[in-house]
Amino acid sequence: MKKIFPILISVFLMHCVTMVGQTDYTEQREQMVKWQLQGRDITDLATLAAMLNVPRHKFVPEKMMANAYTDGPLPIGNGQTISQPYIVAFMTQALHLNSKDRVLEIGTGSGYQAAVLAKIVDSVYTMEIVEDLAITARERLKDLGFANVVVTWGDGYHGLPDKAPFDAIMVTAGADSIPQPLIDQLKIGGHMIIPVGPHHGIRQLVLITKKKNKIVKKDLMSVRFVPFTRAQKPNKD
Ligand code: SAH
């Protein structure tokens, strides 16, 4: 009994630490949704539910985990960032998604935005130009059980013509102009959201609606995003 007692105590303590850790992140996530999203203008129930359910702390580097639910963007390595939770929710809500949709995201980064989309729609195709990020995000999404997300390594300028047309397209890197191939790959009636503006400057988050004979553009807000870059070589999977 003398020997087993300290073991029992340490097992109990380890259990407590795990429980506290889990409760903590769930609570932080609830607070994030309540104050950062509902406290602003996020009202779409599917978006709020997705943000409540995706474990954002699992999409940031280990040393950033404690800050995963703060009201801002965070570095994810390779000079890239995971967007502020509010921006993720705002862009998701703006697309007016439904459960049958096929969505294309350009700029996988950590995979967090793709995971949020995947909770709402039927399937998500996401493209990332930095190979390391594409591989890490693909593994992470698989480990977390997101079976309806396909990560492709390549220059998102070209989109995925083989999988087009898409009900909605989201670009999460700041572009100088709107890539024509992405407009071509959008369904009639579909929406695309993209930050557009001068390189390294403040850009406009633009919502594009594709009509039969024209596209309608609406400026939603000013934002800062890491730049949309271009590949020197053709796409690879
Ligand atoms: N959506 C991400 C954050 C995006 S950061 C998340 O939830 O974590 C922008 C990402 O776009 C970066 O990872 C950057 O490498 C990528 N990117 C930039 N230009 C690109 C392009 N032409 N095609 C695909 N990805 C691109």
Calculate what percentage of the chain has a pLDDT beyond 70.
88
Please tell me the distance between residue 6's alpha carbon and the centre of ligand 1 in angstroms: 49
What is the predicted pLDDT for the residue at 24? 83
Each residue of 52-90: pLDDT tens digit?
A: 999 999 999 999 999 999 999 999 888 889 999 999 999
Average pLDDT over residues 28-40: 98
Residue with CA nearest ligand 1 atom 10: 107
Stretch among 32-36, 90-94, 138-142, 201-205 having the lowest mean pLDDT: 201-205
Q: From the alpha carbon of 105, which atom of ligand 1 is closest?
A: 1
Calculate what percentage of the chain has a pLDDT beyond 90.
81
Q: From the alpha carbon of 116, which atom of ligand 1 is closest?
A: 7
Q: From the alpha carbon of 113, which atom of ligand 1 is closest?
A: 7
Token duo for residue 86: 């509010």
Are 205 and 91 spatial neighbours (Cβ–Cβ below 8 Å)?
A: yes
What is the predicted pLDDT for the residue at 5? 57
Three-state SS at 70? coil
The set of residues, in sequence order, having a beta carbon less than 8 Å from that of 66 and lying 6+ positions away, is none
Going by C-alpha positions, the residue among 154, 160, 131 that lies closest to residue 232 is: 154
Q: Would the CB of 156 count as within 6 Å of ligand 1?
A: yes
Please tell me the distance between residue 75's alpha carbon and the centre of ligand 1 in angstroms: 12
Q: What phi and psi, each to the nearest 5 degrees, are found at residue 83?
A: -65, 160
What is the predicted pLDDT for the residue at 201? 79
Q: Which residues are catalytic?
A: 83
Q: Would the CB of 128 count as within 6 Å of ligand 1?
A: yes
Domains in the chain: ranges and CATH: 4-223 (3.40.50.150)
Distance (Å, rounded) from C-alpha 72 to C-alpha 185? 31
Q: Would the CB of 195 count as within 6 Å of ligand 1?
A: no
Residue 209 is which amino acid? Answer: T
Burial of 95 (0-12, 13-18, 19+ CB in 10 A): buried
Q: Would the CB of 175 count as within 6 Å of ligand 1?
A: no
Q: Would the CB of 92 count as within 6 Å of ligand 1?
A: no
pTM of the model: 0.90
What is the predicted pLDDT for the residue at 233? 59
For strand 203-210 and strand 186-196, is the pairing parallel, antiparallel, or unpaired? Answer: antiparallel
Each residue of 132-172: pLDDT tens digit?
A: 999 999 999 999 999 999 999 999 999 999 999 999 999 99
Three-state SS at 125? strand
Confidence of residue 21 (pLDDT cuts 50, 70, 90): very low
- Asked if residue 110 has pLDDT above 80, the reply is yes
Confidence of residue 14 (pLDDT cuts 50, 70, 90): low
More confident residue, 113 or 199: 113
The set of residues, in sequence order, having a beta carbon less than 8 Å from that of 46 and lying 6+ positions away, is 97, 119, 120
Please tell me the distance between residue 82's alpha carbon and the centre of ligand 1 in angstroms: 9
- Asked if residue 127 has pLDDT above 50, the reply is yes
Going by C-alpha positions, the residue among 195, 162, 163 that lies closest to residue 177 is: 195
Each residue of 165-195: pLDDT tens digit?
A: 999 999 999 999 999 999 999 999 999 999 9
What is the predicted pLDDT for the residue at 199? 72
More confident residue, 84 or 14: 84
Residue where the block lists tokens 């594009």: 208
